[in-house]
Chains A and B, each alone.
Chain A
Amino acid sequence: MPNKTVSLRIDGELVTAPEGQTILEAASANQKHIPTLCYLKGLSAVGACRVCMVELAGTERLLPSCTTPIQEGMSIKTRSAKLTLYRRMAVELLLVERNHICSSCVSNGHCELQSLASSLGVTHVRYSYNNPRLPVDMTHSRFVLDHNRCILCTRCVRVCAEVEGANVWEIASRGIHARVVSDLKDDWGHAHNCTGCGKCVQACPTGALAEKGFAVHEMVKQSEAVTRLALQRSGTTPSAV
Chain B
Amino acid sequence: MQSVADDVLNAREKVQIDQAIVTHRNRPGALLGILEEVQSANAHKYLSLAALRYIAEETGVPASRVYSTATFFALFSLDPQGDNLICVCRGTACHTRGSRDLLGKLCLDLGLSNNEVGDTGDADKLALTTADRKFTIRTVACFGQCALAPVVEVNHHILSHVNERTLQREVKALGQGGK
Contact = CB atoms under 8 A, between A and B. Distances in A.
Contacts of B124: 174-175
A167 interface: yes
A197 to B, nearest CB: 16
Interface stretch (B10-18, B59-67, B165-173): B59-67
Interface string A150-185: 000000000001000001111111111100011111
Contacts of B123: 175-177
Contacts of A183: 62-64, 67
A167 B63 CA distance: 8
B124 to A, nearest CB: 7
Interface string B78-89: 000000000000
A170 B53 contact: no
A169 B72 contact: no
Please report whether the interface of chain A is mostly helix, strand, loop or mixed according to DSSP: mixed
A116 to B, nearest CB: 27
Interface in B65-79: 65-68, 71-72
Interface footprint category on B: 10 to 19
Interface in B22-80: 49, 52-53, 56, 62-68, 71-72
A170 B71 CA distance: 11
Given A173-B72, A175-B124, A184-B53, A167 B65 contact: yes
Nearest to A186: B63
Given A167-B65, A169-B64, A170-B62, A184 B52 contact: yes
Please report whether the interface of chain B is mostly helix, strand, loop or mixed according to DSSP: helix
Nearest to A166: B62
Contacts of B52: 184
A185 B68 CA distance: 9
B1 to A, nearest CB: 11
A193 B62 contact: yes
Interface string A186-208: 10000011000000000000000
Contacts of B49: 184
B63 A193 contact: yes
B67 A184 contact: yes
Given A184-B49, A184-B52, A184-B53, A171 B68 contact: yes
Interface of A: 161, 167-177, 181-186, 192-193
Interface of B: 49, 52-53, 56, 62-68, 71-72, 123-125
